[in-house]
Amino acid sequence: MTATDRTPAGDFERTPGGAILMDGNRLRDEVVADLNERITALGNPHVCLATVLVGDDKPSQIYVRSKRRKADEAGMMSRHVGLPADITQEYLEEAVLELVNDPHVHGILVQLPLPEGLDAERVLAMIPPEKDVDGLTERSMGRLVRGGEGHVPCTPLGVMRLMDRYGVETSGKRAVVIGRSTLVGLPQVLLLGRKGCDATPTLAHSRSGDLAAICREADIIVAAVGMAGLVTADFVKPGAAVLDVGISRTAEGIQGDVDFDAVQEIAGAITPMPGGTGPMTIGCLLENTFHAARMQGALPQES
């Protein structure tokens, strides 16, 4: 089954316009249940995710709470370090170093962005690749580029998992990723283009020119900008898969980069916002934490 085939297939839920709804909540719950099963089967070894949150940004607090809740559901421990917004760089680095040196901590997540005045790059650089479950450090990115063992950034990995789960074919397909951040767009292009996935990705950004024309060439569109409703129906080739990463907080609530109502009439598969890529970011964080524990020799062999 491919997303470009709009004839009904499988038991996938569809939008009123007939597109497959790539349900991130559902897939995240499957991932969490699978991890819980595996951890239980291994005799409940200690697997621990540490979260570091600086300041009192409300959305960041919600993200961290939800990551810790899902870690618990997966059968993992979580340790939280909450620090005030006016903390010094030195104190923050000390707190992270403690987690780096603690053998009972397998994954470290520093919630970004950090408050003004703190240098996130310096903090990230302290996290060793095996504990870098967000996959955002220079060394993890280097490993992704060079095909080494390491953790892949959770949001673009979640996008790949959604496509896989909902039967979106990638091999030989043309993809457009809108947005070129190191957090999402850049690693997304690497993942789409790497061997085994074998799509042909284009990286679009604010200087790309006629974005609609570029996107209309694509079988797969990943929008990671943060501009509500940027991707309209005339960006989308009939049957294309459209994955919405962007988050804009508007008076009407959270909105994605994709004009969902119009695009679902044309797309072959589409993510909702919220409920699409966001939950899968958490699912992939927990999978990365499980693999982190394995890389650090904390898990017995799975039978």
Instruction: Please give the residue ranges that form the binding site for ligand NAP (CB under 6 A).
Output: 155, 178-181, 183-185, 204-207, 211, 224-227, 245-247, 277-278, 281
CB of 101 to ligand NAP, least distance (A): 29
Taking the complex as a whole, how short is the minimal distance between the CB of residue 121 and ligand NAP, in angstroms?
Answer: 14
Question: Pick the catalytic residue: 111, 188, 255, 264?
Answer: 111
Q: How far is the CB of 246 from ligand NAP (least distance, A)?
A: 4
Rounded CA-CA distance 74/286 in Å is 8
Residue 39 or 183: the one with the smaller Cβ distance to ligand NAP is 183
| Residue nearer to ligand NAP on the CB measure, 70 or 180 | 180
Decide whether 21 or 224 has the Cβ nearer to ligand NAP: 224
Structural tokens at position 197: 């996935």
- Confirm whether 67 is a catalytic residue: yes
CB of 297 to ligand NAP, least distance (A): 30
Contact of 231 with 253, CB cutoff 8 Å: no
Q: Which is nearer to ligand NAP, 89 or 206 (CB)?
A: 206
Nearest to 223 by CA among 240, 78, 297: 240
Query: How far apart are the C-alpha atoms of 273 and 262, rounded to whole Å?
Result: 14
Tell whether the torsion through CA atoms of 121, 123, 129 and 132 is positive or negative: negative
As measured in angstroms, the least distance from the Cβ of 179 to ligand NAP is: 3
Q: Using the 8-state DSSP alphabet, how is residue 146 labeled?
A: H
Kindly tell me the burial class for residue 301, based on how many C-beta atoms sit within 10 Å of its own C-beta (0-12, 13-18, 19 or more): exposed
Of all residues in the shown chain, the one whose CB is closest to ligand NAP is: 226
Instruction: Name which of 135 and 185 has its Cβ closer to ligand NAP.
Output: 185
User: Does residue 188 contact residue 156 with C-beta atoms inside 8 Å?
Assistant: yes
- In the block, tokens 């979106």 appear at 168
Catalytic site residue from 23, 70, 131, 134: 134
Quote the tokens at residue 174: 């043309």
Residues sharing a CB contact under 8 Å with residue 263, sequence separation 6 or more, in sequence order: 19, 231, 232, 233, 235, 236, 242, 270
Answer yes or no: 134 catalytic.
yes
User: Which active-site residues does the annotation give?
Assistant: 67, 111, 134
